[in-house]
Chain A
Amino acid sequence: MTSGYDLRLPRLRSSALTVWRRNVLVWRKLITPSLLINFGEPLLYLLGLGYGLGLFIGDMAGLPYLTFLASGIVASSAMNTASFEGMYSVFTRMVPQRTYESMLATPIDVDDIIAGEMIWCATKSTISGTAILLVASILGAVEEWRAVAAIPVMFVTGLCFAGPAIVMTAISKSYDFFNYYFTLVVTPMFILCGVFYPVSTLPAALQSVVQFLPLTHAVALVRPLMAGLEPQSVLVHLAVLLAYALASYYLAVVLVRRRLVV
């Protein structure tokens, strides 16, 4: 057992919410700067890119460019937020701050820690996505009330990206490692998965690759909801996002157990 892996299936318990609550309490202390960033960044994107580019582009795939872009940014921001939190912040709590070590001296297990952190990452994704949604609707880029259905999608998207980020954290020795993940995983998805232009304009081969990337599915759900259209293949998209979330949760638990329960 010493150098092997503890492969037992993790159990979901209410202790996960205790871990989540700890993060909420910390976040509440810094709520003003956090929210400023949550609102400021999309405002910059949407005003700069949406209006600036929109003037030249006009419509994209039958939608006003501002709406097209805003819906892409909602999804990609959920990805970015969860990835960032799952790597930099989780690493900080796992290594220098030894927060998990202190939790593991209480009835909390690694299963609870990872579940709590993933729920927290998804919560932050939801906060930042909702901020963008609000900004977009103030700018007139949101069609109707149906758009609130994008909020649970943000949460699921957050879960889906939190897991892989924590997997990276579990195997990394320092923060430097995360640059690779952002450069090799997050940025390509940001560019290829339909945030700025429809996936259908990609070469055929690339289109089939992109179907395996979760951001594609997040965008495919959020975009019609914000544009006032009926989303297609909802179950498939949700299933892909949830499959990534569950598989990465299990992997993250196994790897973090190996790192912390030695």
Chain B
Amino acid sequence: MTGEAALEAVIEARCLRKSFAAAEVVRGIDIAVPRAHCFGLLGPNGAGKTTIILMLLGQSPLTSGSLEVFGQPMPAAGRTVRGRMGVVPQIDNLDPDFTVAENLRVYGSYFGLEANVIAARIQNLLEFVALSDRAESRIDTLSGGMKRRLTIARALINDPELLVLDEPTTGLDPQARHMIWARLRDLRQSGKTLVLTTHYMEEAERLCDEVVIIDQGRILAQGSPPALIRQYVEPEVLELRGDKADIGSLFDDVPGSRVETIGDTVYCYMHDAKSVDQLLQRAPKLSFLRRPANLEDVFLAITGRELRD
């Protein structure tokens, strides 16, 4: 990172650790999130992403290390910091006793905002997340995507400088996901700092200026998505599906290629996938896909392919 003053850190964690009775789940995390950046926390299930976010909110005391948000120590400065922050939790916790608009109004009151300030924001926020026509709906009549959009609107009611989103698009259809991506890009453009976790590497690649890949509470890799792709995998990938016998030792002689087999699919990472066109003609029964390497390839290369829980 360059030493420019513009890169003032909104979040700065040093050697952050968290233990529960059973185990240490965050094991020495160092991160710095500059203002107006979108920062992604990636990692398999149980990696410690939500735990880190709860520490950011001051909802979970640190076991050791230090954590500053807006230059203030957490969790000591929790109340002040949360006033300048918006949170989209992993599990929806909209208030089922209220309608859509009332949810925003009541949540706004938790920040001590004046009723007229809240009222003025509600309309804009509902428009922003395309829920204007559902203002009077009960929460249990909303679809999963609408609930998620409302949760995002709710996180913006205090006009926060920092927005923290824990899996904002999990379980949503492509339409809803694209709409949320567009909104998050708008927010980033408007100068807000974003921190998000996601299991969708495409999402991280589209939105994040920088990501960290965490596993078992440790950072395994850090950087911008294109830099990580350059660093950890070959630029092109050939996916082959078909009989093992047909694939056989097809790639044994391709220089600089790396082959992984998962089930009936072979992933061949290489520098120039065109170079194997001739090879492929020798095995006409194989179906194949040639594509540029992406963040998911990096993620799998770094965290392995075993299932987590």
Contact = CB atoms under 8 A, between A and B. Distances in A.
Instruction: Give the interface centre of B57, B85, B95, B158 by most chain A CB atoms within 10 Å.
Output: B95
A18 interface: yes
A6 B85 CA distance: 24
A229 to B, nearest CB: 43
B298 to A, nearest CB: 31
Given A2-B61, A261-B61, A18 B112 contact: yes
Contacts of B97: 26, 29, 97
Contact of A105 (B20, B61, B80, B89): B89
Contacts of A106: 82-83, 107, 110-111, 158
Contacts of A108: 110
Instruction: Give the interface centre of A25, A101, A102, A262 by most chain B CB atoms within 10 Å.
Output: A102
A234 interface: no
B96 interface: yes
A109 B97 CA distance: 21
A1 B63 contact: yes
Contact of A2 (B20, B87, B94): B20
Contacts of A21: 109
A22 B21 CA distance: 35
Contacts, number: 75
Contacts of B78: 109
A26 B79 CA distance: 25
Given A101-B93, A107-B79, A25 B110 contact: no
Interface in B1-35: 18-21
A38 B213 CA distance: 57
A101 to B, nearest CB: 5
Given A25-B98, A261-B60, A105 B82 contact: yes
Interface of B: 18-21, 54, 57, 59-61, 63, 78-80, 82-83, 85, 87, 89, 91, 93-98, 102, 106-107, 109-112, 158
24 contacts: A1-B61, A2-B18, A2-B19, A2-B21, A2-B63, A3-B20, A3-B21, A6-B61, A15-B112, A18-B112, A97-B95, A97-B97, A98-B91, A99-B93, A101-B89, A101-B93, A102-B93, A102-B107, A105-B59, A105-B87, A106-B83, A107-B111, A109-B78, A262-B60
